[in-house]
Chain A
Amino acid sequence: MKVKIKIDDNYQIFDYEGDLNISVITLLEKLDWPIEYSCSCLQGICGACAMVINSEPKLACKTFLNEEKTVIEDNQITIEPLSKFPLIKDLKVDRSILFDAMTECELWLENDSEYNPKDLDFEYEMSLCLMCGCCTEVCPNYKLGDFVGAPATVSASKLVNQESDEEHLKNMKKNIKKGFFHIVLNQFPVKMSVPWKSQPKEQFQK
Chain B
Amino acid sequence: MVDIIVVGAGIAGLTASIKACDKGANVSLISSDYSERSQSVMAMGGINAALNTKGENDSTDQHFTDTLNGGCKINNEKAVEMLTSDAPQIIDWLERIGTSFSRDENGNVDMRNFGGQKKKRTVYAGSRTGKQIVSSLVSLCRKRETEGKIKRFVGYRFLSLIFTDENECCGINCIHEDTQELRSFIGDAVIIATGGYNSLFGKILGSTQNDGFATAKLFTQGVRLANLEMVQYHPTTVKTPQKRMFITEAARGEGGKLFVMKDGKPWYFMKDFYPELADLMPRDVVSRSIFKVSDGGKKDVYLDLTHLDEYTVKVKLDEVYEICEKYLNLNPLKTPIPIFPAVHYFMGGIQTDENHKTNIKGLYAAGECSCQYHGANRLGGNSLLGTVHGGWISAENAVLEKPKGNVINSIDEELESFKSYAPKDKSLQDTLSEISQIMNDSLGIYRNEGDLMAALDRLDNLDTNVNAKYYDYLKVKLLVILSKASILSALERKESRGAHQRTDYPESDDRYKKSICAMYDDENIVIE
Residues of A within 8 A of B (CB): 19, 21-23, 25-26, 29, 38-48, 61-62, 64, 88-89, 92, 96, 99, 102-103, 106-110, 112-113, 115, 117, 120, 123-124, 127-128, 130-131, 155, 158-159, 162
Q: Assess the A131–B36 pair: CB atoms within 8 A.
A: yes
- Binding-face segment, B135-143, B266-274, B438-446, B484-492: B135-143
Could you tell me which residues of chain B, from 81 to 119, have a CB within 8 Å of some CB in chain A? 95-100, 102-103, 107
Q: Assess the B132–A38 pair: CB atoms within 8 A.
A: no
Q: Assess the B97–A113 pair: CB atoms within 8 A.
A: yes
B326 close to A (CB within 8 Å): yes
If over half of A's interface residues share one DSSP class (helix, strand or loop), that class is named, otherwise mixed; here it is loop
Q: Assess the B245–A124 pair: CB atoms within 8 A.
A: no
Most buried by A among B36, B136, B145: B36
B131 close to A (CB within 8 Å): yes
Partner of A62 from B37, B143, B326 at Cβ < 8 Å: B326
Q: Assess the A46–B103 pair: CB atoms within 8 A.
A: no
Q: Assess the A120–B103 pair: CB atoms within 8 A.
A: yes
Most buried by B among A43, A62, A92, A124: A43
New A-B pairs, 12, CB < 8 Å, besides A26-B241, A88-B178: A19-B241, A21-B241, A43-B242, A64-B241, A96-B154, A107-B139, A108-B143, A113-B98, A124-B100, A124-B132, A130-B36, A131-B34
Known A109-B139, A112-B96, A113-B96: A42·B243 in contact at CB below 8 Å: yes
B146 close to A (CB within 8 Å): yes
Q: Assess the A42–B242 pair: CB atoms within 8 A.
A: yes
B243 partner residues in chain A, CB cutoff 8 A: 42-43
Q: Assess the A128–B34 pair: CB atoms within 8 A.
A: no
B411 close to A (CB within 8 Å): no
Shortest CB distance B427–A (Å): 9
B128 close to A (CB within 8 Å): yes
Could you tell me which residues of chain B, from 59 to 99, have a CB within 8 Å of some CB in chain A? 95-99
Shortest CB distance A46–B (Å): 4
Q: Assess the A92–B178 pair: CB atoms within 8 A.
A: yes
A124 partner residues in chain B, CB cutoff 8 A: 100, 125-126, 128, 132
Q: Assess the A113–B95 pair: CB atoms within 8 A.
A: yes
B410 close to A (CB within 8 Å): no
A sample of 29 inter-chain contacts (CB < 8 A) reads A22-B241, A29-B429, A40-B207, A41-B42, A42-B203, A42-B242, A43-B323, A46-B38, A64-B241, A88-B178, A92-B178, A102-B139, A106-B146, A108-B140, A108-B143, A109-B98, A109-B143, A112-B96, A113-B99, A115-B107, A117-B103, A120-B100, A120-B102, A124-B128, A131-B36, A155-B139, A158-B98, A159-B98, A162-B98
Q: Assess the B38–A40 pair: CB atoms within 8 A.
A: yes
Closest 5 CB pairs of A and B: A113-B98, A108-B143, A127-B135, A112-B96, A124-B100
Q: Assess the B98–A43 pair: CB atoms within 8 A.
A: no
Partner of B42 from A43, A99, A113, A115 at Cβ < 8 Å: A43
Shortest CB distance B30–A (Å): 15
A158 partner residues in chain B, CB cutoff 8 A: 98, 100
Q: Assess the B323–A46 pair: CB atoms within 8 A.
A: no
Q: Assess the B132–A127 pair: CB atoms within 8 A.
A: yes
Provide the B11-38 mask, 1 if CB < 8 A to any CB of A, else 0.
0000000000000000000000110111
Q: Assess the A48–B42 pair: CB atoms within 8 A.
A: no
Provide the B307-335 mask, 1 if CB < 8 A to any CB of A, else 0.
00000000000000001001100000000
Cα-based distance from A117 to B103 in the complex (angstroms): 8
Q: Assess the B241–A23 pair: CB atoms within 8 A.
A: yes
Known A42-B203, A48-B33, A62-B326: A127·B100 in contact at CB below 8 Å: yes
Known A40-B209, A96-B154: A109·B140 in contact at CB below 8 Å: yes
Provide the B182-220 mask, 1 if CB < 8 A to any CB of A, else 0.
000000000000000000000100011100000000000
Q: Assess the B107–A117 pair: CB atoms within 8 A.
A: yes
Q: Assess the A128–B207 pair: CB atoms within 8 A.
A: no
Most buried by B among A64, A88, A109, A159: A109
Tell me the nearest residue of chain A to B152, going by C-beta. Answer: A99
A102 partner residues in chain B, CB cutoff 8 A: 139, 142
Q: Assess the B97–A109 pair: CB atoms within 8 A.
A: yes
Q: Assess the B139–A46 pair: CB atoms within 8 A.
A: no
Shortest CB distance B380–A (Å): 18
Known A26-B242, A43-B242, A43-B323: A99·B34 in contact at CB below 8 Å: yes
Cα-based distance from A43 to B103 in the complex (angstroms): 27
A41 partner residues in chain B, CB cutoff 8 A: 37, 39, 41-42, 207-208
Tell me the nearest residue of chain A to B205, going by C-beta. Answer: A43
Provide the B132-174 mask, 1 if CB < 8 A to any CB of A, else 0.
1001100110110110000000100000000000000000000
B140 partner residues in chain A, CB cutoff 8 A: 108-109
B136 partner residues in chain A, CB cutoff 8 A: 113, 127
Q: Assess the B131–A128 pair: CB atoms within 8 A.
A: yes
Known A19-B241, A124-B100: A40·B37 in contact at CB below 8 Å: yes
